[in-house]
Amino acid sequence: MLQITDLHATVADKPILKGLSLTINPGEVHAIMGPNGAGKSTLGYTLGGRPGYEVTGGTVTFAGQDLLALEPHERAAAGLFLGFQYPVEIPGVSFLQFLRESLNAQRRARGETELSGGAFLQVAKLRAGLLKMDLDMLKRPVNVGFSGGEKKRAEMVQMGILDPKLAILDETDSGLDIDALRVVGEGINTVMRQPGKAVLLITHYQRLLDYVKPDFVHVLAGGRIVRTGGPDLALELEERGYEAVAA
């Protein structure tokens, strides 16, 4: 589904990703762990196409397309979802309006028919319920006045509504208390643990992985993947620290 080969990327002319390769197949959950500054968030933003994250080498293929040739909104329409570490507030635009625009823009881009207001609300209600979020919350402006945990849950509601092929979740676990972590974990499993879908979890900590069991764990250090293992690797990292394991 996603094939990253020898990816190099710079931010403000500073090399951050230095030859990262990773293959994700349908049905798999991958976790990328690593110390601060390893390039974890840069990987997410680079795959999402954020301005300022410049690819200087390598290739990325997603669902048979050259991902790097697509504009950010085209990447979303192709089935890529980027969950933000710091979801952005958009004053004056309600979540429902935002999500309906998002979903229908994606559907138009894929040549599908747009969802009517009623049909959209049905989907929104179902997905919000899954994340134990009141539909009324989605009448509020995007992320405005939301707590850190609410923002993260709202990200997962968005993921549920947009129903992507691949979700790249950047520190979705940060800012969540234990109960919210479980709700978010279950949400990820329900939406993404489906045939033909895959997840890339970017995280510092092992705790989200208790709920969303990864098939592969990668250690990112110095802009490349330095070790790959199974779920046990996350436990080993937790125990021994990045420095010992990545060395």
Partner 1 sequence: MSQVAALPTRRDEDFRYADLAALTPLWPVAAEQVRVPGGEAQTMTLILAGGEAVARELVVTLGAGASFDLRVLNANGAYGRVALRAELGEGANFTLGAAQLAAGEQVLEIVTQVVHAAPDAVSRQIVRSVAGGQASVNYLGKVLVAKGASGTDGEQSVRAMLLDRTATANARPELEIHADDVKCAHGCAVGELDANGLFYMAARGIPPETAKRLMLQAFVAEAFAGAAEEEALLEQALAALEAML
> Among 63, 90, 130, 137, which residue sits at the site for partner 1 (rule: CB under 8 A)?
90
For residues 19 and 72, which CB has a smaller minimum distance to partner 1 in the complex? 72
User: 115: which DSSP letter?
Assistant: P
Shortest approach of partner 1 to residue 50 CB, angstroms?
Answer: 5
For residues 72 and 149, which CB has a smaller minimum distance to partner 1 in the complex? 72
* One-letter amino acid for residue 71 of the chain: E
Q: Tokens 């994340």 belong to which residue?
A: 131
Q: Is 101 in the site for partner 1 (CB under 8 A)?
A: yes
Q: Which stretch binds partner 1 (CB under 8 A): 14-22, 100-108, 189-197, 207-215?
A: 100-108
Q: Is 158 in the site for partner 1 (CB under 8 A)?
A: yes
d(CA 139, CA 34): 37
Q: Is 87 in the site for partner 1 (CB under 8 A)?
A: yes
Q: What is the dihedral of CA 82, 86, 92, 94, to 10 degrees?
A: 50
| Overall residue count recorded for the chain in this entry | 247
Q: Is 140 in the site for partner 1 (CB under 8 A)?
A: no
For residues 8 and 100, which CB has a smaller minimum distance to partner 1 in the complex? 100
Q: Tokens 């989605």 belong to which residue?
A: 138
> Among 3, 5, 65, 97, which residue sits at the site for partner 1 (rule: CB under 8 A)?
97
d(CA 18, CA 32): 15
> Among 12, 69, 88, 178, which residue sits at the site for partner 1 (rule: CB under 8 A)?
88
For residues 50 and 204, which CB has a smaller minimum distance to partner 1 in the complex? 50
Residues 23-82 that bind partner 1 (CB under 8 A): 48-51, 71-73, 75-77, 81-82
Q: How far is CA 6 from the centre of its chain?
A: 21
Q: At what angle do helices 148-162 and 178-192 cross, to 10 degrees?
A: 10
**Helical ranges in 4-70 per DSSP H:** 40-48
Q: Tokens 């635009």 belong to which residue?
A: 93
For residues 103 and 219, which CB has a smaller minimum distance to partner 1 in the complex? 103
CB atoms within 10 A of CB 13: 7
Given a contact cutoff of 8 angstroms between Cβ atoms, the answer to whether 21 and 6 are in contact is yes
Q: Is 162 in the site for partner 1 (CB under 8 A)?
A: yes
Shortest approach of partner 1 to residue 101 CB, angstroms?
Answer: 5
Summarize as ranges the residues that interact with partner 1 (CB under 8 A).
48-51, 71-73, 75-77, 81-82, 84, 87-93, 97-99, 101-103, 105-106, 109, 141, 158, 162
